[in-house]
Structure 1
Amino acid sequence: MRLIVVSAGLSSPSSTRLLADRLTAATLRHTDAEPEVIELRDLATEIAQHLVTGFPPARLAAALDAVAAADGLIAVTPVFAASYSGLFKSFFDLIDKDALTGKPVLLGATGGTPRHSLVTEHALRPLFTHLRALLPPTAVYAASQDWGQEGLAQRISRAGAELARLMTPTTSHDTARAATHDTARAAAGDTVPDVDTAAAIAPRSPTGAITSVDRADGFEVVPFAQRLAALSVE
């Protein structure tokens, strides 16, 4: 599996890159994905050229392809004017509109004050929801005073575990276990049910006039007019 990490930090060293690295480490504790970091500040000129010409230079094209092919994505931006940075938005404006559909994306942001802590919810999450990405419940915002605090470490750990869980491919383990259970029941002489789940759990009418599974072949449906007439008689 491939984990692509997009950092929009502008300085070096960068608190945005630091948060991206921490989120990556937390994710890799739960998955053996291969990480790759894309520093947007190194692609700023190429991003501007693509926006103007419509053609991506080679390095930018490789970065866009890497995001599209990733099994999971970590996207971290500094906060500018209470939102994501222009560089961050410009890069994701260039992503193919279907590239992130169903892709797990962990969101992160850094800022100088806790007052911007909801930027992940009012700016980042709507953007990636529009791109139809699969977003973990936890997004991580780190203000300057949060570094070294236990609360930030806990949020990072929880977010990494959530992303890894979404990245883990569905296996046939549960299906195989259910098949083994049914085989054992059949061998013991039990009848393995083969009914629609909704039919099996739907409630039976107190009067018995409308039933969910009165017949072995499925639902018995009583027309509304017939039911209404029955109620009038009662």
Structure 2
Amino acid sequence: MRLVVVSAGLSVPSSTRLLGDRLAAATAGRTSAEVRVIELRDLAVAIAHNFTSGFPGRELADAFDAVAAADGLIVVTPVFSASYSGLFKSFFDTLSVSDEGALAGKPVLIAATGGTARHSLVLDHALRPLFAHLKAVVVPTGVYAASEDWGAEGLDGRVARAAGELAALMGALPAARPADGDASGGDASGGDTSGEPALVPFEERLAALRPTG
């Protein structure tokens, strides 16, 4: 199982990367997933070139492939002007141009960092609509960390809850893409999917998040 973290932090060290690492560790502990982190600051020039040339370079194409092949995705952005950063949006813009269905049906945990708790609505007003448009399955709990949240008790609880929801969805969903070399286009029931991703009804995904017993 593969878990990919997309971090749009710009500084070193970065609170955005730190939040991504905490979410990844909490999720991997529930799924035994292999974690890969994509630092967008390292791809900023390649993303700009992609806009002008229409073609991703080798490193950017590798990042696109990793996101498309992931069983679950954690995305973390710093808040700029009460929204996600331009670098963050540019990465997903170029990804959707390269592979329109890359995030279709994929479980995504959204997270953001900022200097004040007043910007926490960025999760529901900016990030959630973006990934709904990209046809991802966004977990119910988003995680926002303001400066005062680091070391506070509430952040650990939000991280644990969101990680549990992502892990549940990763376990409930089949692979979104057929295995390499599988040209049958069929599914386990014998139906013809014509190369479309195998998706689980949304009600079943939500059921996987409900506590049992």
TM range (shorter): 0.7 to 0.9
Structure 1 position 169, deviation (Å): 4.0
Q: Look up the SS of the partner of 1:20 in the other structure.
A: helix
1:105 pairs with 2:108 = yes
Deviation per CA, 1:165-218: give whole Å up to 9, x if none: 0000469xxxxxxxxxxxxxxxxxxxxxxxxxxxxxxxxxxxxxxxxxxxxxxx
Residue 198 of structure 1: aligned partner: none
Residues 91-170 of structure 1 mapped to structure 2, 5 A cutoff: 91-95=91-95, 96-169=99-172
Deviation at 1:21, TM superposition (A): 0.3
Q: Superposition pairs for residues 71-82 of structure 1, below 5 Å?
A: 71-82=71-82
* 1:29 CA displacement: 1.8
1:162 and 1:142 map into 2 onto residues whose CA distance is 18
Partner residue in 2 for 1:25: 25
- SS of the residue corresponding to residue 168 of structure 1 reads helix
User: Aligned AA for 2:114?
Assistant: G
Aligned-partner Cα distance in 2 for 1:33–1:110: 24
Q: Normalised by the size of structure 1, how large is the TM-score?
A: 0.72
Q: Which residue of 1 aligns with 2:210?
A: none
AA aligned opposite 2:110: L
Q: How does 1:2-13 map to 2 (within 5 A)?
A: 2-13=2-13
Whichever residue aligns with residue 14 of structure 1, its letter is S
- TM-score norm. by structure 2 comes to 0.79
Compare 33-42 and 162-171 and name the one that shifted more. Answer: 162-171
Question: Which structure 1 residue ranges, 5 or more long, are not aligned?
Answer: 172-234
Q: Determine what percentage of the aligned residue pairs are the same residue.
A: 69
CA change 1:152–1:112 in 2 (3 A) is same
Give 1:94 deviation, angstroms.
1.2
Q: How does 1:33-48 map to 2 (within 5 A)?
A: 33-48=33-48
State how far apart, in whole Å, the 2-side matches of 1:84 and 1:75 are: 11
Which amino acid in structure 2 is aligned with residue 86 of structure 1? G
- Residue 210 of structure 1: aligned partner: none
Larger Rg: 1
User: CA offsets per residue over residues 16-70 of structure 1, 9 Å max, x none?
Assistant: 0000001001101210110000000000000000011101000000000110111
Distance in 2, matches of 1:63 and 1:100, equals 13
TM-fit CA distance, 1:92: 0.3
Aligned amino acid, residue 13 of structure 1: P
Figure out how many residues of one structure are paired with residues of the other and give that number: 171
**RMSD of the alignment, in Å?**
1.0
